[in-house]
Structures are given as C-alpha cells and as structure tokens.
Chains A and B, each alone.
Chain A
Amino acid sequence: MTRRNVFEDELPESNPLTGSAGAVPGLLSHLPPPERKKKRTRRWEGANRSKHYRGVPADLRTAIREIAETLSVPADEVARAFIEYAINCIDVGTLRLDGRINPRPHAQKMTLYPFNGAGWAVKGWNPQPPPAPSGRRKKSKSDPKAWQEIAHYRIPDELHERIKDIAYIHFPIGEVAAVLLKHGLEAYRAGTLQLTPQPSTTANVRWNSGR
C-alpha cells in the first residue's frame, strides 16, 4: 500500500469551522508570514557621534550624570546645556578664559647633562657626571592623570566647533570643555542656570496636513 501524505491529500472529513479541507500549502498561503523585529541600523548614532573630551574630571562627569538622572533627561543634554550656557557667558563677557604658562617646574624641565658630558665646568676641569640611578621609579596609581579622564557627550557638531574655536591652538580642547562644563555646573548649583525638562515627542506621532 502506498504511503499517504497528510499534508497534500484532501481530508475525508471537513472542518467544523469552514467546511473546507484543502491541502496544507494552499491553506498556508492564507496566513501571513511572521513579522521579525527590524534590525536597528544605528544610522542616527552614526550621523551624531559622541564627542570625546580628554581632561574632564570624574567628579564633574558624575555630577552631570546625577543631575541628568534627577531631571530624567540624558546626560548629553545636561552637558550640552552647561556648555551652551558657558559659551553664552563668554560671548557676553561674564566668563573669561585666561591662559597662563604652566607654573609647574617639571613642565619646563631642563638638563645639565644633555649628552655624556657634564653640564658644568670649573676652569677647564670637567668631571664625569654621577651615574644615573638604576631602575625606573614606580608611578603611583592613586592619582590618575588628568589626560586619562575622558568624557563622552553626544552634542551638536556646531557646539563642538565652538569649543574648538575657543581652544584654538593654545589650549587642549578637553580642558576648555572641562572649564565650560564646570562653569555651567556652578551656575546650576548657584541657581543662576535653571534646567527645565519637557516631555519629548516620540517619533511615532504622525499627522496629515489635510492636503
């Protein structure tokens, strides 16, 4: 006896709901295929990359994040508000950035022994320099370098360009961003700057103009 295929043969009995009993491939054509989640393209993130600022202290970043959590807004927006406020202060003249030569002596470290010879002499006598201490001095890990502190904020390109303009060639951009953020934070804490969160409109809202 030949093998039966239940999916392709016509059913002898009919279904109580329809009365039809066609082959399965035909029946399946009436059912839509299951919808899969659309994979995110991250196009917006690609077009709006976050900016990195080296030298923004951790406590400043933490303060910004805490304010953002309190206001239920992204930290990027708080940072943006602080920077915009500080730049506005620069524009109106209430904030001045004064560059100074780094007073720390090791920043301009000199040497008397640039090569093998000694850097001093007394009436023609030129002694050999003392031997350099062996082994490198172990660096303390307790105090991280300022340049190791990096902040990432997704702020508009125009604002980032303003920071770069202010920094020009004299200051590191990260340091300028840190100063602007700190100024904004101090103004916020003093009550001079007020942040007012608004409900955001979702992208799902659509309407027709009626045309």
Chain B
Amino acid sequence: MSTRIICIANHKGGVGKTTTAVTLGHGLARRGKEVLIVDFDPQGQSATFLGINPSADIYFVLASRIAGEPRGPDLTALKQRVRSSGRKNLWIIPGGTETAIAQTTIVALAKPVSYIADVLKYFTGNGLHYIILDTSPSLGGLQERAVWASDYVLAPVQPDYAAAQGLRQLITTLTALRQEKGWGGTLVGVLPTLYDEQTRETRAEMKDVTRAFGNLLLPPIHRATILRECAAEGLTIYEKDPGSRAAREYEAVVDLVCSLA
C-alpha cells in the first residue's frame, strides 16, 4: 500500500482540527498502521496533545528545500526530524512558532503549490501507511500547499455560523485547487465536532450542513469534557478512556479512513 496523505483542514480555528488529527493518527496506529503526523500549525499543538514538546522540526524540514541545493537536502538530517510519539506505530514531525517564518519565506519566494508535496516525498514509502497533516486555520500559503499534497481532506466543523463559513471557504479553495492547479485529491468528509444537539442553533446549522454535503457528512463527535482533559494531560482518548463515547465516535472516523482506497 502506498502512503496516503490526509489533510485535516478548516479555515476556522478551534473546531477540533488538532484533536481530530491526533486521535485519528493514534486510532490508525492502534490498528497496526504506521502513521506520521505532520504539524503545519504554528501553534504546534499536535505535539503538546501527545504529551511532547513543540519544536522547530517542521521549520527545518520546510527550509531544507528553500535553499534549493542541487544535490537535494541531507536525507539523514531530514529523517532525524521525525520524532517518536511514545506510542507504537505513531510518529510526529512537531511544529512551533518558527513554522510561520517558513510560511512567510515560501510565500515571499513564490514557491510552487507542490512545495509541501515535494517535501513529503522524502517521508513516503518506508512502510508508512498514513501521513496526517494538521494545518493552521488560515490561508497563508501553507494550508493550500498542504491540501495540494494530500490525497484526502477531512474537514472538522463546529456547528455554528463562523465555523460553517470557514468550511465554505475551504470548499471554495478545494474546488479552485482542483480546477486551476490540477489537485488530484478530494474531500473525504465533513466531521461535525463539539456537537451539542440540545441547542436550536446547532440543530439548524446541522440541517444546513446536511443539506449541503449529503453523504459527505460524517457522524458527529459530541462535545466532551474528556477530550479537553486529554489535551491537558497529553493523552489521546484511547489512552484516557477507550470505552468513552468520544473514543467510539472517533473509531467511526478511523473506520472510514481504513475503508478508503
């Protein structure tokens, strides 16, 4: 099986992108898949959610191609940027505030949309089944390139107007990348997160999302305090309470990803 790249994206922040990236990554790893999480968010929270320190590793990975050395980057140095998450089969290239510098440089040098895809080629293969890209909540240069590098995009959305607007902008970006830049991937689903069916606004928003996305709408992840506790303790939901509702709901997402070609 070739390495599948899955991008977790939404132009709105705080919708559960990092939680989804980390939980999906660990869920796949628990099923024996080799998974690499790449954190393109300058907040660097994928690492902290896994209980490890954020670092400038993704900055160095991105910067390795900026210089444009004729012989290419030092592969050994590049692969040393892959850190163990402390979990079996789960690896991470952490990000940090330095990621924003790399983003600015890439945009200033007008690097092509395939820039991240070219960087990730150094990591694909080697028995790696999935690369999960956690992206920043804005179009600043990195997110479009991360989407372009991916085979599948998973869009978490909190059922409120602002998050829906971010999702709408993401769909516009995906369509544009497909039509204008020849992106070969697709949207795998819209994942409602922080779901709370008790409010009328949530129900109304879900109705709109359902009407717009139909089969692409995935079963929701309910708002759960345990997920916030996981972030605070540096554990995934599978470590904290694998029998919880949140863990079961994320298992459905893992099932979906495993069923993809």
Q: Which residues of A are at the interface with B, using a C-beta cutoff of 8 A?
A: 3-8, 11, 15-18, 20-21, 24-25, 27-28, 30-38
Flag if B174 contacts A11 (CB, 8 Å): no
A-B residue pairs, 4 tightest by C-beta: A7-B212, A17-B176, A35-B261, A18-B176
Q: How far is the CB of B217 from chain A (nearest CB, A)?
A: 11
Flag if A7 contacts B208 (CB, 8 Å): yes
- Knowing A4-B161, A16-B139, say if A11 contacts B208 (CB, 8 Å): no
- Knowing A4-B161, A6-B161, A18-B179, say if A24 contacts B168 (CB, 8 Å): yes
Q: Which of B167, B172, B187, B211 contacts A15 (CB 8 A)?
A: B172
Q: Which residues of A contact B82 (CB under 8 A)?
A: none
- Knowing A17-B180, A27-B172, A27-B175, say if A3 contacts B212 (CB, 8 Å): no
Q: Which of A21, A33, A35 contacts B172 (CB 8 A)?
A: A21
- Knowing A31-B178, A38-B261, say if A20 contacts B209 (CB, 8 Å): no
Flag if A11 contacts B177 (CB, 8 Å): no
Flag if A27 contacts B186 (CB, 8 Å): no
B204 within 8 A of A: yes
Q: Which residues of B contact A17 (CB under 8 A)?
A: 144, 172-173, 176-177, 180
Q: How far is the CB of B181 from chain A (nearest CB, A)?
A: 8
- Knowing A30-B179, A35-B260, say if A6 contacts B164 (CB, 8 Å): yes
Flag if A28 contacts B179 (CB, 8 Å): no
Q: Which residues of chain B from 164 to 201 have any CB-CB distance to chain A below 8 Å in the complex? A: 164-165, 167-169, 171-180, 186-189
Flag if A31 contacts B259 (CB, 8 Å): no
- Knowing A4-B161, A5-B208, A31-B178, say if A36 contacts B171 (CB, 8 Å): no
Q: Which of B139, B169, B186 contacts A32 (CB 8 A)?
A: B186
Digitize B205-221: 1 where CB-to-A-CB distance is under 8 Å, 0 elsewhere. 00011011101100000
- Knowing A7-B209, A18-B180, say if A31 contacts B186 (CB, 8 Å): yes
B130 within 8 A of A: no
Known: A6-B208, A33-B186. 6 other contacts (CB 8 A): A3-B204, A6-B165, A20-B176, A27-B171, A33-B215, A34-B188
Residue of B nearest to A39 (CB): B259
B40 within 8 A of A: no
Flag if B164 contacts A7 (CB, 8 Å): yes
